[in-house]
Amino acid sequence: MKTPTGLQPLIDDGVIDAVMRPLKSGKEAAVYVVRAGDEIRCAKVYKDMAQRSFQQRVQYQEGRKVRGSREARAIGKASKYGRKQQETAWKNTEVEALYALRDAGVRVPEPYGYFHGVLVMELVVDADGHSAPRLGEVELSALQARGFHRFLIHQVQKMLCIGLIHGDLSEYNVLVAPDGPVLIDFPQVVSAAGNNAARTMLLRDVNNLTASLGAWAPELLDTWYGEEMWALFEAGELRPDSELTGVFVHDESSIDLDGVRHAINDAREEALIRQQGREAAEEMD
């Protein structure tokens, strides 16, 4: 295939040897399957701000650190330089998060480096060596769904222990490898301590996973791991090896339990709508 403009510098520098095929193109980036020596990897080329359709950047960026006071002032003023710095910071976010999550033991694709604004990382594959499917594309037994849910909740827990929340986690940001689920797509990662919407985003992430896997194991819909996790985090008691139960006693005077359960059901319906939309788009391609 013709080498995309964003990947030519990597070939020129010997980082990769060839671009084999497109893997996916989303609102934030385009991903390609590439060859580096004898290794097959993937390269994520981030789209410029003008090309992206992600509309809630401000909410996600709250609490993110900026490297210098000049950059912070420029971003705050939305100057041309500030917009450029904001764009650079946005593109660096996933790279930094990926390395931090890998070091914390979260199951993410192995990063191999960040070159000319392109993230090169592990290509997650299935048992036959093909690109691994998303969680929303596989059929599961109740036993498998429970196992996947337990594993993914633990990944969210380990993320929170280093102060990070995925922020957009769903069955479409989880790949299914032979050795279990792999979390992907972190450009919108949220600071748990610095973002006012952190709790809401954590609960949404957990509810999305619970709604998806609860379709195969309905008893999962009666668990409250997100609320339990956040309460421990706020109390400074959450650890990577903390034993979570999924049981949480709500203050019924200040919480609408039916509303929370409706939110989980809404997440399931939204997931189905996204799946139908994605399938319709694929049929048009």
Residue 250, CA atoms < 13 Å, CB-side half-sphere: 16
Mind listing the pLDDT tens digit for each residue in 246-265? 999 877 655 555 555 565 66
Domain residue spans of the chain: 5-51+82-122, 135-283
Q: Residue 276 pLDDT more than 90?
A: no
Give the whole-angstrom CA distance, residue 107 versus residue 77: 38
Contact 267, 211 (CB under 8 A): yes
Task: Report, as an integer, the average pLDDT of 116-127.
Answer: 95
User: What's the pTM?
Assistant: 0.78
Tens of pLDDT, residue by residue over 171-201, are 999 999 999 999 999 988 999 998 899 999 9
Whether 5-51+82-122 shares its CATH topology with 135-283 is answered no
CATH assignment, 135-283: 1.10.510.10
Between 64 and 272, residue with greater pLDDT: 272
Q: Name the CATH code of domain 5-51+82-122 (choices 3.40.640.10, 3.40.630.30, 3.30.200.20, 3.40.50.150).
A: 3.30.200.20
> What would the pLDDT profile of 236-245 be if each residue is shown by its tens digit?
999 999 999 9
What is the rounded CA–CA span in Å between residue 115 and residue 66? 20
What is the three-state SS of the chain? CCCCHHHHHHHHCCCCCEEEEEEEECCCEEEEEEEECCEEEEEEEECCHHHCCCCCHHHHHCCCCCCCHHHHHHHHHCCHHHHHHHHHHHHHHHHHHHHHHHHCCCCCCCEEEEECCEEEEECCECCCCCECCEHHHCCCCHHHHHHHHHHHHHHHHHHHHCCEECCCCCCCCEEEECCEEEECCCCCCEECCCCCCHHHHHHHHHHHHHHHHHCCCHHHHHCCHHHHHHHHHHCCCCCCCCCCCCCCCCCCCCCCHHHHHHHHHHHHHHHHHHHHHHHHHHHHC
Task: Grade residue 85 by pLDDT with cuts at 50, 70 and 90.
Answer: low
